Amino acid sequence: MPQAPHIVRTIPALLRARSDLRKRSATVGLVPTMGALHDGHLSLVRLAKKRADKVAVSVFVNPTQFAAHEDLGSYPRTWKADLAKLTAEGVDLIWNPDAKVMYPEGFATRIAPEGPAVAGLEDRFRPHFFGGVATVVAKLFSQVRPDVALFGEKDFQQLKVVTRMARDLDLGVRVIGAPIIRERDGLAMSSRNVYLSPTERRQAPVLFATLKATAKRVRDGAPLQSALKDGAVAITRAGFTLDYLEARHGETLEPVTSRGEGPVRLLVAARIGTTRLIDNIKV
Ligand code: AMP
């Protein structure tokens, strides 16, 4: 049995734990999460173990990245199961502050990311989101001072935003992206998948199936815009309300009009019932 992780919930306890971790110049990898852990999160933990001597996981449902109408109150919280999973993975440290520790009375600073954060994808539908993410991730980086931090490609625009911010602010953290982990039927794992009704869950794999088919058509020479148009129709027919299905440059997130402008990424966001799902694929 691996040793139980050290759980800390206050800044002074975190700072003590951080210097313990760093003994004998050990390197530290951080995996930021909002809990409700699944195999996608655990894949990041496993990667962190390969890239650093010690692994810290933060479990914090960050209120500043939710808009008032979003699901902060109902976001799944599964602490006991999360702890069991992180213990089984042999994680060294769990940073689990509450909102008052993260944002004490009088807190008045917010990071305003630009570049990939204003690419016109998630930011069009969740204008508050990347400011909240950048602020909490900057805090997590300065609290834990990791050498590397692992983020999933599942949240592709977020990965670009955090990578840019770490560079722009000289935070001394290497941000590493990790591939999307999927259910057997292709649905990208997400803490929010528990919101899906049985009928919605049966429809949900259409999102990835369409991404895959669209990417293949483009690789086979179909014009990008017509492949995307057909993809949008397929997603809508399956009962989704489409927020976007777009082709973007895989590094800059700039719009692209042909495969030749690549590397090309297809990104999608769509709602089924009250659940919003996102996914993406390399062409
Ligand atoms: P969250 O708890 O949703 O904020 O996600 C924490 C981290 O896990 C983020 O870097 C996500 O991109 C990553 N992640 C979430 N789902 C997946 C997945 N299916 N595969 C890989 N990484 C994921």
Instruction: Tell me the per-residue pLDDT of 201-247, one tens digit each, with 9 for 90 and over.
Output: 999 999 999 999 999 999 999 999 999 999 999 999 999 999 999 99
| pLDDT at residue number 2 | 78
| Predicted pLDDT at 121 | 98
**pLDDT at residue 53 in the model:** 97
Q: What angle do CA 121, 124, 129 make, to 5 degrees?
A: 90
CA of 24 to the centre of ligand 1 (A): 31
Where residue 262 falls (left for φ over 0; alpha for ψ -120 to 50; beta otherwise) is beta
For residue 179, the ligand 1 atom closest to its alpha carbon is 21
Instruction: Give the strands of the sheet with 148-152, arranged side by side.
Output: 6-8, 93-95, 54-59, 28-33, 148-152, 174-178
Residue 36 alpha carbon, nearest atom of ligand 1:
2
For atom 14 of ligand 1, the residue with the nearest CA is 152
* Distance of alpha carbon 239 from alpha carbon 272, whole angstroms: 7
Q: What's the half-sphere exposure (Cβ side, CA atoms, 13 Å) at 124?
A: 10
86, 37 Cβ separation under 8 angstroms: yes
Q: Give dist(CA 182, CA 165) in Å, integer.
A: 28
The pLDDT, as a whole number, for residue 3 is 86
Spatial separation of the C-alpha atoms in residues 97 and 8, rounded to whole Å: 7
Give 96 Cα–ligand 1 centroid separation in angstroms: 17
pLDDT of residue 276: 96
Task: Give the Å distance between the CA of 160 and the centre of ligand 1.
Answer: 14
Based on the residue annotation, tell me whether 38 is a catalytic residue of this protein: no
Name the amino acid, one letter, at 165: M
Residue 248, helix vs strand vs coil = strand
Residues 6+ apart with CB under 8 A from 62: 34, 102, 132, 133, 136
CA distance 136 to 269: 23
What pLDDT score does 24 carry?
80
In a mutational test of the pocket of ligand 1, which residue from 33, 38, 41 has the highest number of ligand atoms less than 8 Å from its CB?
A: 41
Give the distance (Å) from ligand 1 centre to CA of residue 230.
28
Q: Which residues of the chain have pLDDT under 50?
A: none
pLDDT score recorded for residue 264: 97
Pocket of ligand 1 (CB under 6 A): 33-34, 40-41, 43-44, 151-152, 154-155, 178, 180-181, 188-191
**Is-contact 233 202, C-beta < 8 A?**
no
pLDDT at 199: 96
Residue with CA nearest ligand 1 atom 6: 33
For residue 49, what pLDDT is reported?
98
| Active-site pick, 38, 41, 128, 249 | 41
